[in-house]
Amino acid sequence: MKSFKSYRNMSTTIFNKIIIAVAATAIPAIAIAQEAVDSIPAHELNEVVVQAPKVIRKADMDVYYPSRSAIENSRNGMQLLTNLMIPSLTVTDALGTITAAGQSVQIRINGRASSVDEVKALLPETIKRVEWIDNPGLRYNGANYVLNFIVANPTLGGSLQAEGRQALNSAWGDYFADSKFNNDRSQFEVGGIFKLTDNVKSHRDYKETFTYPDGNSLTRTESPLGGHVDNTFGRLWSSYSYIKPDTTTFYVSASVAPTFSDNWMSNGLLSLSDGTDDIILTDSHGSKGTTPKFSAYLEHHFAGKHTIVVDFNSSLYFGKSYSDYIEQLPDHSDFLTDIHTMIKDQNQAYGLEANYIRKWRNSRLTTGASYTANRNRSTYENLGGEIFHQRQDKVYFFTEYFQRINNVTVTAGLGAQYTDYLFKETNQGSHSWNLRPQATVSYRLNQDHQFRL
């Protein structure tokens, strides 16, 4: 029998016991309280009255100012975001996801690209406003939506946040801790997360049909015999930030993110439609590795509404991925199919971006350039240790102009990207230029209705 690796019509049940009973504990944040802008109408949520935020609808974004009650009833940035009740935005704190209309949302803090973990580490009282951009334009390189948290550092003191969730009947848990120390406009931060998923039971059911050239077909139906999922990882980080509100933001961060185990394994019994003997199938794949990162960000607003933004990111990855696919007859030691893959990777990634923004009363000009480099070295242990190298370089330029005329706004711009890709061992690759023109016209009928083309 040949190897079959089709996953069509596969139905997988994962974490089938996790949701039964999860005990969550949370240590409240200890923080320096700051005043926040309050607002008007009230919404009742789970017997807690949270006043709606003050919203300023600008031509290119909606700006949300958290109400005092929203801040008081939030333990971290994710909960505050939920209390802001931004239309079309879906916030799932337990899963750590932020989406809008089923699409991904690019998250930023003071203009810097960030993660959900960093939002969770924010103290609610330090969030001055949240900018919701549903028409990001070329600066954000293809993002569907952008959510930008404007944060101010407390001038003195510090804070400690900790949170833990643990399932009672399974090795599943989620733990988080973050500490901040403040001095004038500077802030030092140390934190970490740990996500545990160890040998959580799972299974799959699926059916596949193969049609041969002569018109005959064979259907294989898998009945589950068992399986499990492992997904245990963590991240430690430290950062320094200097924030002079609406003038200067400087941020530097270093982190390391180990993946201890990311494995999926399934056992099943294949019944064949031609009546031949059943086959025992074992299918598993996974990866493990470590990713250290370093980043730096500078944003400065000059007099006359000129802004310069410089962003640098770098990361390394050391790890391996593996896959096993085995078919054998019951009570037989010989394998009908035995495929084993083991790949060790050493990856490098670097990125540098610079933007210039010039604002007038009803218009804005943005221009920028970026460079990203990726290097990969893969060792295929199942091929006798053969080594392959890959290289990719991207250069991106864009210019975009925004203009508002009464209730009408017009945005037009052009982006250009050069991509170069090379396989070192075969000296094969490709390089190309791609243009990205974009234009948007919108008309705001009133505060609640807008038409966009």
Note down pLDDT in tens along the chain; length 453 residues: 333 333 333 334 444 434 333 333 333 333 333 333 334 444 454 555 667 678 888 877 889 999 988 898 888 899 999 999 888 899 987 778 899 988 899 999 999 999 998 998 899 999 999 999 988 888 887 788 999 999 999 888 899 989 899 999 999 999 999 999 999 999 999 999 999 999 999 988 889 999 999 999 999 999 999 999 999 999 999 999 999 988 999 999 999 999 999 999 999 999 999 988 899 999 999 999 999 999 999 999 999 899 999 999 999 999 999 999 999 998 888 899 999 999 999 999 999 999 999 999 889 999 999 999 999 999 999 889 999 999 999 999 999 999 988 889 899 999 999 999 999 999 999 999 999 899 989 888 876 677 888
What does the buried/exposed string (b/e) look like for 37-53 if buried means 16 or more CB atoms within 10 Å of the residue's CB? eebeeeeeeeeeebbbb
CA torsion, ordered 298, 301, 302, 305, to nearest 10 deg: 140
Upper half-sphere CA count for residue 101 (Cβ side, 13 Å): 5
Check if the beta carbon of residue 358 is closer than 8 Å to that of residue 306.
Answer: yes
- Give the strand pairing for 103-104 and 106-109: unpaired
Check if the beta carbon of residue 415 is closer than 8 Å to that of residue 398.
Answer: yes
Measured CA to CA, the distance from residue 417 to residue 368 in angstroms comes to 12
Q: Give the single-character DSSP code of 243.
A: E
Residues in the chain: 453
Residue 373 CB burial class (10 angstroms; 0-12, 13-18, ≥19): middle
The two tokens of residue 134 are 């549903």
Check if the beta carbon of residue 88 is closer than 8 Å to that of residue 128.
Answer: no
The residues, ordered by sequence, that sit 6+ positions from 8 with a Cβ below 8 Å of its Cβ are 206, 208
pTM over 0.75: yes
For residue 350, the one-letter residue type is: Y
